Structures are given as C-alpha cells and as structure tokens.
C-alpha cells in the first residue's frame, strides 16, 4: 500500500467536518467533494488503516462507490458473486448463502480487500481542492449553536487548534467521542472473545465461496480474495 501522508490545511472554516477516515468517512468526503462542499476530515491515526476489518461488500455499497466515481478502480479488489457456506465441526453444511441476482447493477454479495479499497477512497479525495485531510489529529471537544459547530483538534505534537463548520459528521467508530458527548446510546454489547486474521498466498482459482466452520474451540472463516491469496479469520 502507498503511504498516506497528511494533506495540509488551508483554512479553519469548512462546510462539513468529518471525524474519522475509515471507509464511511472517506466515502462521505468523496460524495461531498463531488457536490462542491468544503470538507475537513480529521483522523487520529497517522494513515489509512492497512489491515482489513471487513471482508464483504454488497451491491448497494458498490452503487455508492459508483456515485463517488470510484467503482471502476474498486472492481480490481473485489470477488463478485460471493457465496458463503456454514459447516458443523464434522463437516456437514447446515446453511448456504447463494446470491445470484444483480437487479441493482452489481452482484449482490462480494468479497473484497478492504485496505486497498480504503486507499482508493483516500486517493479519490485528491480530485477535490476543497476537501482536506488531517491525519495524526484527534477531536478533543466540540460545541454547537444555530450557526454551526466549533471543534478543538489536537495534533500528534500536542498542539491544539480550533476549526469550525456548518455540520460535523461522526464517523469515529463505536467509541465515538461525538456520540458520547451527545449522549447517543450505543446499543448492544461487544463480543467478549478475541479474534485474529491472516492472509496467505495460494493458487489463483475461480472459487468464490467462503467457508465458515463452527468448531467450538476455534470457529474459523475462510473467504476468497480477488488476488492469488486467501484470508483466514478465527475467534
């Protein structure tokens, strides 16, 4: 993956501030960039995350990427018509998901390599001089009134600055500072188990089926990748 250095800011006043440069935040920034909206993306990490947190993308998400003008680039990193089969520990298939339609113009279920797609979303922002990205900056606090939002962000060296916008969009995950500040509840509970994932080189094949094995000790899923590799996840 190519490096993703911070794009320097030119202004502290924007139409929209997006907190979080994950796939949701980057997608929204691209859509707003096409519409001519000035955007500041604030991300506390130093670059786009280079490991996958998802393995599947559906047809509606691909339609959104098409609207952002990035679908052609993303296609190289997806495996369309992606089936999924679930097996017991003894090897018996007890469920099979087999999407076969494309009524929205894209295959219903697709495997994908998330870091590459995230990088395409980030690089897509370079089309818009009115969209700025600040890596290594973290939202500290914000306030709002009828005119908009005033936010304080802190850089990696500890310096703080104030930025303003008409709107602030929270794309900062389950531990969102924005959500907690607004007292928006987080429904559900995190999975208490830990997981691991790996990507292994393998022989290129036309196989497009993920397998999930319900072994009590180490449940495992094995989705195919578009390149000559296979991902493996266990919990």
Q: Are 26 and 121 in contact (CB under 8 A)?
A: yes
Query: Cα-flanking dihedrals φ and ψ of residue 13, to 5°?
Result: -120, 130
Token pair in block for residue 113: 């390599």
pLDDT: which is higher, 67 or 232: 67
Token pair in block for residue 216: 């009590």
Domain 1-52+113-187: CATH architecture, name and number where available: 3-Layer(bba) Sandwich (3.50)
Q: How many CB atoms lie within 10 A of CB 224?
A: 22
pLDDT, tens only, 167-209 = 999 999 888 999 999 999 887 776 655 555 444 444 444 456 7
The whole-number pLDDT of residue 186 equals 81
How far out from the chain centre does Cα 84 lie?
21
Q: What's the half-sphere exposure (Cβ side, CA atoms, 13 Å) at 117?
A: 30
CA–CA separation, 214 vs 89, rounded Å?
A: 5
Write the DSSP symbol of residue 27: H
pTM: 0.79
Write the DSSP symbol of residue 174: T
190 burial via Cβ count (<10 Å: 0-12, 13-18, 19+): exposed
In the block, tokens 């955007």 appear at 39
Q: Above 50 in pLDDT, residue 210? A: yes
């Amino acid at each position: 993956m190519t490096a993703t250095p911070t794009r320097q800011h030119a202004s502290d006043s924007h139409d929209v501030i997006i907190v979080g440069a994950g796939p949701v935040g980057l997608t929204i920034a691209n859509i707003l960039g096409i519409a001519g909206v000035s955007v500041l993306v604030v991300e506390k990490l130093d670059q786009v995350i280079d490991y996958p947190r998802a393995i599947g993308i559906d047809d509606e998400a691909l339609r959104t990427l098409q609207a952002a003008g990035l679908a052609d680039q993303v296609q190289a990193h997806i495996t369309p018509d992606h089936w999924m089969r679930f097996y017991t520990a003894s090897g018996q298939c007890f469920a099979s998901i087999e999407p076969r339609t494309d009524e929205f113009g894209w295959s219903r279920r697709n495997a994908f390599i998330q870091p590459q797609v995230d990088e395409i979303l980030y690089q897509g922002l370079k089309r818009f001089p009115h969209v700025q990205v600040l890596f290594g900056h973290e939202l500290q606090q914000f306030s709002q009134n009828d005119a908009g939002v005033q936010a304080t962000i802190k850089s990696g060296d500890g310096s703080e600055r104030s930025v303003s916008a008409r709107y602030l969009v929270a794309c900062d995950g389950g531990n969102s500072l924005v959500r907690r500040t607004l007292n928006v509840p987080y429904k559900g509970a995190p999975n208490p188990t830990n997981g691991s994932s790996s990507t292994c080189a393998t022989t290129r094949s036309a196989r497009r089926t993920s397998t999930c094995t319900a072994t009590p000790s180490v449940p495992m899923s094995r989705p195919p990748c578009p390149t000559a590799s296979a991902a493996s996840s266990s919990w």
